[in-house]
Amino acid sequence: MASRQAGNSYEDGYILVPPSILTSRFLWYTVICLGQLVNSSTMITFKNVSKIYPGQQIALKNINLDIKPGEFVSIVGQSGTGKTTLVKLILAEERPSKGKIVIGGWDITGIKYREIPTLRRQIGVVFQDFKLLPRKTLYENVAFALEVAGESNEKISEIVPQVLKIVGLESKVNRYPTQISGGEQQRVVVARSLAHRPKILVADEPTGNLDSINSRDIIELLKKINDFGTTVVLVTHNREIVNDLRKRVITIEDGVVVSDQKRGKYLL
């Protein structure tokens, strides 16, 4: 009887129903350990990564990074220090000249051309220039990202209102980008980047064109997304934002990581 009860107590969440307490307990620990292993594994890993552009322009030198699932990381540094290059390496828009890059357990160092779309569907991207299509409504702009990735029409009509609601624009879905403010436009871009339910959201200076109030809104949005469990990588050189966030800050200077703090401040 006892063994049965013990067996039942392990049923929830685990497929394995052990025949005896002993083995079940053993499996139970194994599962926990494995779970911790998964948890402790990293979402983004850079190992001795250098990027040298044609013409001997060294953008990144020997970068080592470990970003864990669910982390919120700010990457700061002056202009021209290689922050965007780092983002492009994550997206496989550029390839490392040296070193190894692993995203979610997938070594993308030598990623094949035809595999790139699969990678990008799992990473949401937000850039400084808004990059909304002016001839499409907000709804159509978000739907476009799903359409071109081959999502079904039913799925599209289900997801688009959801993500537009997350960014608080559910009432303006039929407007065109010119009919909303800059901050709202950037929120649509965030909504679009969420459409694929990415595990990682990369935002390269998302507040670069926005005033402080709109910037704050965007950052709040990113925090909210991070709370859902998405790993967020925020590239910025906005001091206030970084200091208010009280999250991990990686500082890059001339292509080198000069500091990596758990609850960082803007150093420069």
Residue listed under structure tokens 């800059």: 182
Q: In this structure, what are the phi and psi dihedrals at residue 61, rounded to the nearest 5 degrees?
A: -125, 115
CB of 183 to ligand ADP, least distance (A): 22
Q: Is 85 in the site for ligand ADP (CB under 6 A)?
A: yes
CA-derived radius of gyration, the chain = 21
Instruction: For the CB of residue 154, give the shortest distance to another protein in the complex, in Å.
Output: 11
Q: Is the distance from CB of 146 to CB of 124 less than 8 angstroms?
A: no
Among 24, 45, 82, 247, contact with ligand ADP (rule: CB under 6 A): 82
Stated length of the chain: 268
| Contact partner at residue 138 from Mg ion, ligand ADP, another protein, none, CB < 5 to 8 Å by partner kind | none
Least CB distance from residue 192 to another protein, whole Å?
7
Closer of 27 and 52 to Mg ion (Cβ): 52
Beta strands in 11-166 (DSSP E): 44-53, 57-67, 72-76, 98-103, 106-107, 123-126
Min CB(260)–another protein separation in Å: 27
Give me the 56-95 binding string for Mg ion, x by CB under 5 A, dash otherwise. ----------------------------x-----------
Cβ proximity of 67 and 260 under 8 Å: no
Nearest alpha carbon to residue 159 among 151, 169, 150: 151
Where along the sequence are the contacts to another protein (CB under 8 A)? 91, 113-114, 116-122, 125, 131, 133, 144-145, 147-150, 152-153, 192, 195-196
Smallest gap from Cβ 73 to Mg ion, in A, equals: 16
Strands (E), the chain: 44-53, 57-67, 72-76, 98-103, 106-107, 123-126, 200-204, 231-235, 248-253, 256-261
177: which 2 tokens?
A: 């980008």
Interaction of residue 53 with ligand ADP, rule CB under 6 A = yes
Quote the tokens at residue 39: 């948890």
Comparison of 76 and 222: residue with beta carbon closer to ligand ADP: 76
Binding positions for ligand ADP, rule: CB under 6 A:
53, 57, 59, 77, 79-85
